[in-house]
Amino acid sequence: MTVGPAKGQHAVVTGGAGFIGSHLCERLVEQGLRVTCVDNLSTGRTANLEALAGDERFTLLRADVSEPFSVQGPVHHVVHLASPASPLDYLALPLETLRVGSAGTENALRLAHEHGARFVVASTSEIYGDPAQHPQRESYWGNVNPIGPRSVYDEAKRFTEALTAAYSRTLGVNTGIARLFNSYGPRMRRDDGRVVPTFIGQALAGSPLTINGTGDQTRSLCFVEDTVRGLLALMGSSFPGPVNIGATGEMTVREIAEAIAGHAGAELRTEFREPAEDEPGRRCPDIETARVQLGWKPEVPLAEGIRRTLLWWGSTYAHDTDRDGVNEPSDIGSGAA
């Protein structure tokens, strides 16, 4: 069972209007915490926070964490999720991605230091790059192209980890690093370019499912509910990490396409495109550290996760009339956090 933070505490969640962040904010409020979400809404959406509207325990602070910001204390937890996470987003916002990984992380760490709060950061499986080790263990240092187009995300997260570790060693901040693997589920923006929402949108539209390269590259998909349970467990512990949070059911991208088409009741038609530059060939976590240190493992089977995602998709995108983000499209694939 996941042991999380205590009722009555105050948690600050940067990037809390995003896909994973909004689910985490909801769970924290459900568990009796006061939550301040800090988000500039560059990739997050207020629609993700509708369930918390009017709740006195929840506050949305619209701010860019790359600039200094303050929160009324006391603060017991700082969870740093702010960052573009999908390839389309971080390739479109390269400098912003690097800033939020550097200045944004330091501003969040300073807040935790000032308040004596537990600091948990969402790193990513992308720090392993195109891995030479399989499955990926936390001890593996990775294989990243430091100047390739994906490096703006990969290296931002690697710097995030280095800075977090330095604040822990030098200033004694109570830190935890989570390396999130491919998460999916409700609230993914349909237009964000990652594989699950892309395939769902294409399958439901009767379009071919577009696959980069051969489709033999692998991913391990973790339902967002399980990802959030892992973050809660890390928040409620004193474990510094890094710790992999992800599912171990490795599948090829072609198998993911087949699964989504099948659950959507669509004929499987595929269209192959040029491979993306520096796209990892295999991706699957070793989660023994999470099992031992946090008592965590994923629980939602892929079929159930896809079913729940499709249900949300149908209710959310049935009427594409609002273009301010409330009913705006979304996706998920190579990005992890």
Domains of the chain are 10-184+222-247+283-299 (3.40.50.720)
How high is the pLDDT of residue 87?
87
End-to-end CA distance of the chain: 23
CA distance 113 to 118: 9
pLDDT per position as a tens digit, 258-292: 999 999 999 999 999 988 888 888 899 999 999 99
Tokens 């290296």, located at residue = 155
Over residues 3-22, mean pLDDT:
92
- Report angle CA 13, 16, 21 to the nearest 5 degrees: 100
User: φ, ψ for residue 284 (rounded to 5)?
Assistant: -160, 130
* Tokens of residue 233, six digits: 């467990």
Higher pLDDT, 320 or 51: 51
Backbone torsion region of residue 180, taken as left when φ is above 0, otherwise alpha when ψ lies between -120 and 50, otherwise beta? beta
Residues 330/186, Cβ–Cβ less than 8 Å: no
> Which is catalytic among the residues 153, 167, 184, 317?
153
What's the pLDDT score for residue 113? 97
3-class DSSP state of 269? coil
Q: How far apart are CA 273 and CA 122, in angstroms?
A: 31
What is the predicted pLDDT for the residue at 73? 82
* pLDDT at 336 (0 to 100): 39
**Segment 61-81, tens digit of pLDDT:** 999 999 999 998 899 999 999
Indicate the average pLDDT of the chain. 91
Mean pLDDT of 31-48: 96
144 vs 280: CA distance, rounded Å: 10
- Output the CA–CA distances (angstroms, integers) from residue 106 to 24, 67, 330, in the order listed: 21, 10, 29
Q: How confident is the model at residue 319 (pLDDT cuts 50, 70, 90)?
A: low
The answer to whether 167 is a known catalytic residue is: no
DSSP run (H or E) holding 260 = helix 253-264
pLDDT bucket at 208, cuts 50 / 70 / 90: very high
Per-residue model confidence (pLDDT) at position 5: 85
Per mean pLDDT, which range of 150-159, 229-238, 319-328 is the poorest?
319-328
Could you tell me the two tokens for 312? Answer: 């949300």
Predicted pLDDT at 193: 85
Contacts 24+ apart (CB under 8 A), 50-54: 51/26, 52/25, 52/26
With residue 140 as reference, give the H or E element that holds it.
none
Chain-centroid distance, C-alpha 32: 23
User: Inter-axis angle of helices 253-264 and 302-316, to 10 degrees?
Assistant: 60
Confidence category of residue 3, pLDDT binned at 50, 70, 90: low
Q: Is the pTM of this model over 0.85?
A: yes
Look at residue 337 and tell me whether its pLDDT is greater than 50: no
Q: Do residues 61 and 36 lie in contact, with contact meaning Cβ atoms separated by under 8 Å?
A: yes
Average pLDDT value for residue range 41-66: 95
